[in-house]
Structure 1
Amino acid sequence: MAKIIIAAPPITGELLPLLRLARGLAGRGHQITVVTGSRFRADVENAGLAFTPVTGLADFDDRLVGEDPERMKLTPGPDMLNYDWKHAFVDPIPDQHAVLQHLLEQDPDQYLISNVVWLGALPTAMGAPGLRPRRWVAVSAVPLTLSSDDTTFFGPVPVGPGDDQKAANRAANAQFATMMQPAQDHLGEVLRSLGTTKTFPTFSDGIITVPDAAAVLTVPGFEFERGDAPDSVHLVGILPSGSAPDWNPPAWWAELDGSRPVVVVTQGTVANRDLSELVEPTLTGLADLDVTVVAALGREVDALSIPVPANARVAEFIPFDVLLPKADLYITNGGNGGTQQAIAAGVPVIAAGLTEDKPAVAARVAHHGLGVDLQTATPTPEAVATAAQLVLKDDQIRDNVRKLAQVYAAHDPLSEIERLILG
């Protein structure tokens, strides 16, 4: 048995995989303490896990991010990305560092598994005074950010015949680092204020390379190849989505009997305030097709502003472990977890998203022939319908997805992460 601190920012998509990991490790006899925002106390304690809340700027509500008046002034792109990194990931560092030090002072014989963007362990790793965990493994619930001569965050740069692919990738990575310089500078200021003596690498690289090991929740075949990645980086597969034992199927559930294709559409659990971005265009665009559309809203059904078409079924929540095995196509705004769960279930993907890591997820879908990247967050009904008909008829896409689903099935992420943390 090991004593393990599991820490994640209070961001639903970053925290939920770590909670699944925490439950799995606790089931193997390890003593787990979960560190995250106070609003998730019940989720942690109901799972039978010890809970320690963060305080101050580290304890925010990700559901309110879309209502931040300063952020609302920004358009998707460099300004919004820098803003998000500064406020969601850098500003919380002092409070995260404080709670980690408190736990280690109580018992220094503890390991740390953190989400890659929970940065409370950085100060002591970079030379600041304080205690360090016995070993630190960072888990990435988003696509791998590590720059490489072989690729960028968004894939290999398109080049012409005879052009140097590696040089083009290096130039694009350098350009991305320059774009993120405001966040990098802010991170340096915060770390120096805590007494660090070392210079942190480029943000997107350092969150992967500074921990003792990095476990990326993905597999070869979905991630871009990086022949120059350090040995500390491991692609470990995806954690099971988990079940909802109290969930009762809706009255229409028996209609998903395979008699016609089932198309699932969702905007996830956070970016669903405006269902006109993707859910409603999908319902409208597919209304005349011989498919059954299942919209998992992640919020109340009354939030829809359009009538539900005759071939559509709508619910606030449906567990993916029971829904995806019935699906023939998954339409998403590009959330990394849901996209990979769909592919692991053998379901092709149509992705539409421009914020956070969503364009990078969509780029992986397109690059590996696993579906379609619509390259917009607000597709027209016609664009969704065209893409859906293409994917449903494309045998090559379906074959690519089936083969990659076998790769996911071959991984045991819980065992791989357990091995990484215990050394």
Structure 2
Amino acid sequence: MSRVIVASVPLAGHVFPMIQIAGDLVAAGHDVTVVTGERFTDLAERAGARMRPLSGKAAFDDRRLNELFPARVSLPPGPAMLVHDFSHVFGDPIPDQHALLQELLAEDPDSVVVGDLMFLGVLPSMHGAGIRPRRWISVGITPVYYPSDDTTPFGPAPAPDGTDQVEANRGFNAGLAGAVSGASQYIEDIVHSVGGTGLSFPNIFASLYHEPDVLAQLTVPEFEFPRSDLPEGLIQFVGPLTPAVPEGWEPPAWWPELDGTRPVVVVSQGTLANGDLSELIEPTLEALADQDVLVVAALGRPIADLDVEVPANVIVEEFVPFSQLLPRADVFVTNGGYGSTQQALAAGVPVVVAGETEDKPSTAARVGLLELGVDLHTQRPKPDQITEAVRHLLDTASYRERVTRVAEAYRKVDGPRMIRDLI
């Protein structure tokens, strides 16, 4: 048995998989303490772990991001938003995260830290500030951003005729690193301000992977762009986690309608970027209102927030466990959440992706370039774009054939066991 600190920034999409990991480690006999936002205390305790909530700048409420980070609202998706988020959403919390980790490590210096990739409060202790954990296992819950001669985070860079592809990729990766270099310096300065020494983040997209003892990536190589120059052993591909069905959940009365008599299309904007349902949910309902399909809209928020008339072929729910719903679906329409997109692929379901914020463009690029679905290259698709994409996936068998092969790769990995083995 090990003492394990499972740490996550308090963003729901980060917390949920980390809580799932905590529960699995508890079941395996480890002594687990969860470190994240206080609003997730009940989830941590139900997983059988102790809870030590974050405080100060580390304890922001992800439901109030625009209010807490007002400068973010006016920023366009892309480098400017990345610099802001790296610096303020993930960088500013470092001192408070570090302080709490030091309290826990003082209780047991032999503890292992298992933290989501963007929980950066471990960095100071890895660079001489206080007690260093016995092992730092970072968990990649977003697509791999590691730079490569073979690809960028969004697939191979455009290479005009006569241009070497490797040089195109190198140029794009260097440009992206340069565009966010201000955030790299910002994080270095914060770590040094609390006593860390020698931290160097020349390329934040590479450094994030080299700092932990090991990086457990929640995917399979089949949902990644090939990188022939990826250092051996740097990333352990452990596959995605399948969320457990909430205790007490029962199939709703409409469940028998998922009987295969007509195609089922599931649409969701996830748990974070669902503040404006007019981005994807509402145009999808309009797009498919006259199609011979059954649409299930999982809002992730109260049904009353939906501001359009619900068509006759649409079922609206605040929450439906995707582990139960997606195996019965034929197409998944999403804004590109990494976890939910992979849940669909693992269930053998092709995907329509429309997302431009956070890591969503990178997820969308993988779906499109690996031909596992359609990347709409926008956050606000028009209804006719959605109609065309859904019909294309329903009418083109090759997409489901490719997704079926990826689903088989997912079935061959046991993420929870592999993470336990890393402890």
The TM-score normalised by the length of structure 2 is 0.97
After TM superposition, list the pairs within 5 Å mapping 1:349-364 onto structure 2. Answer: 349-364=351-366
Contact kept? 1:2, 1:110, Cα under 8 Å? yes
Post-superposition offset of 1:149: 1.2
Q: Quote the residue 1:164 is aligned against.
A: 164
After TM superposition, list the pairs within 5 Å mapping 1:239-318 onto structure 2. Answer: 239-318=241-320
Structure 1 stretches (4+) deviating beyond 6 angstroms? none
Post-superposition offset of 1:2: 1.3
Quote the Cα distance in structure 2 between the aligned partners of 1:106 and 1:282. Answer: 52
Q: Quote the residue 2:151 is aligned against.
A: 151
Give the secondary structure class of the aligned counterpart of 1:121: helix
Report the AA paired with residue 386 of structure 1. E
After TM superposition, list the pairs within 5 Å mapping 1:80-159 onto structure 2. Answer: 80-125=81-126, 127-159=127-159
Give the secondary structure class of the aligned counterpart of 1:89: helix
Give the secondary structure class of the aligned counterpart of 2:21: helix
Report the AA paired with residue 21 of structure 1. I
**Cα-to-partner distance string for 1:69-89 (whole Å, 9 max, x where unaligned):** 322122222222211111111
Using the TM superposition, name which of 62-71 and 273-282 deviates more: 62-71
Give the secondary structure class of the aligned counterpart of 2:222: coil
Report the AA paired with residue 326 of structure 2. L
Report the AA paired with residue 208 of structure 2. I
Using the TM superposition, name which of 396-405 and 37-46 deviates more: 37-46
Give the secondary structure class of the aligned counterpart of 1:57: helix
Give the secondary structure class of the aligned counterpart of 2:221: coil
Q: Size of the alignment, in residue pairs?
A: 420
Q: Quote the residue 2:26 is aligned against.
A: 26
**Cα-to-partner distance string for 1:312-367 (whole Å, 9 max, x where unaligned):** 11111101111011100000001000000000000000000000000000000011
**Cα-to-partner distance string for 1:151-182 (whole Å, 9 max, x where unaligned):** 11111113245432111111111000111112
Kindly report the root-mean-square deviation, in angstroms, between the aligned alpha carbons of the 2 structures.
Answer: 1.2
Quote the Cα distance in structure 1 between the aligned partners of 2:226 and 2:109. Answer: 37
Post-superposition offset of 1:271: 1.2
Give the secondary structure class of the aligned counterpart of 1:265: strand
The answer on 1:77 being equivalent to 2:78 is yes
Post-superposition offset of 1:251: 2.1
Contact kept? 1:236, 1:413, Cα under 8 Å? yes
Contact kept? 2:145, 2:206, Cα under 8 Å? yes
Percentage of matched positions with identical amino acids: 49
Give the secondary structure class of the aligned counterpart of 1:137: strand
Q: Quote the residue 2:15 is aligned against.
A: 15
Contact kept? 1:241, 1:341, Cα under 8 Å? no
Give the secondary structure class of the aligned counterpart of 1:34: strand
After TM superposition, list the pairs within 5 Å mapping 1:175-254 onto structure 2. Answer: 175-201=175-201, 202-230=203-231, 231-254=233-256
Give the secondary structure class of the aligned counterpart of 1:54: coil
Quote the Cα distance in structure 2 between the aligned partners of 1:193 and 1:402. Answer: 50
Contact kept? 1:8, 1:36, Cα under 8 Å? yes
Post-superposition offset of 1:413: 0.8
The answer on 1:403 being equivalent to 2:405 is yes
Report the AA paired with residue 267 of structure 1. Q
Report the AA paired with residue 21 of structure 2. L
Contact kept? 1:128, 1:194, Cα under 8 Å? no
Report the AA paired with residue 294 of structure 2. T
The TM-score normalised by the length of structure 1 is 0.97
The structure-2 alpha-carbon separation of the partners of 1:57 and 1:313, relative to structure 1 and needing over 3 Å to count, comes to: same
Report the AA paired with residue 206 of structure 2. D
Q: Quote the residue 1:58 is aligned against.
A: 58
Quote the Cα distance in structure 2 between the aligned partners of 1:291 and 1:388. Answer: 10
Gaps of 5+ in 2: none
Quote the Cα distance in structure 2 between the aligned partners of 1:152 and 1:363. Answer: 10
Quote the Cα distance in structure 1 between the aligned partners of 2:196 and 2:169. Answer: 31
Give the secondary structure class of the aligned counterpart of 2:101: helix
**Cα-to-partner distance string for 1:220-251 (whole Å, 9 max, x where unaligned):** 11111112112221111011121123223222
Report the AA paired with residue 119 of structure 1. L
Quote the Cα distance in structure 2 between the aligned partners of 1:52 and 1:6. Answer: 10
Report the AA paired with residue 329 of structure 2. A
Post-superposition offset of 1:192: 1.6
Give the secondary structure class of the aligned counterpart of 2:120: coil
The structure-2 alpha-carbon separation of the partners of 1:194 and 1:200, relative to structure 1 and needing over 3 Å to count, comes to: same
**Cα-to-partner distance string for 1:55-80 (whole Å, 9 max, x where unaligned):** 11000101111344322122222222
Contact kept? 2:20, 2:47, Cα under 8 Å? no
The answer on 1:329 being equivalent to 2:327 is no
Gaps of 5+ in 1: none
Report the AA paired with residue 363 of structure 1. A
**Cα-to-partner distance string for 1:378-414 (whole Å, 9 max, x where unaligned):** 0000100010000111111110000000000000111
Contact kept? 1:354, 1:376, Cα under 8 Å? yes
Quote the Cα distance in structure 2 between the aligned partners of 1:175 and 1:343. Answer: 32
**Cα-to-partner distance string for 1:91-144 (whole Å, 9 max, x where unaligned):** 00001111111111111111111111001110122x233111111110010001
Quote the Cα distance in structure 2 between the aligned partners of 1:167 and 1:113. Answer: 36
Report the AA paired with residue 172 of structure 2. A
Quote the Cα distance in structure 1 between the aligned partners of 2:212 and 2:322. Answer: 32
Report the AA paired with residue 74 of structure 2. K
Report the AA paired with residue 400 of structure 1. R
Contact kept? 2:265, 2:330, Cα under 8 Å? yes
Post-superposition offset of 1:286: 0.6
Report the AA paired with residue 87 of structure 1. H
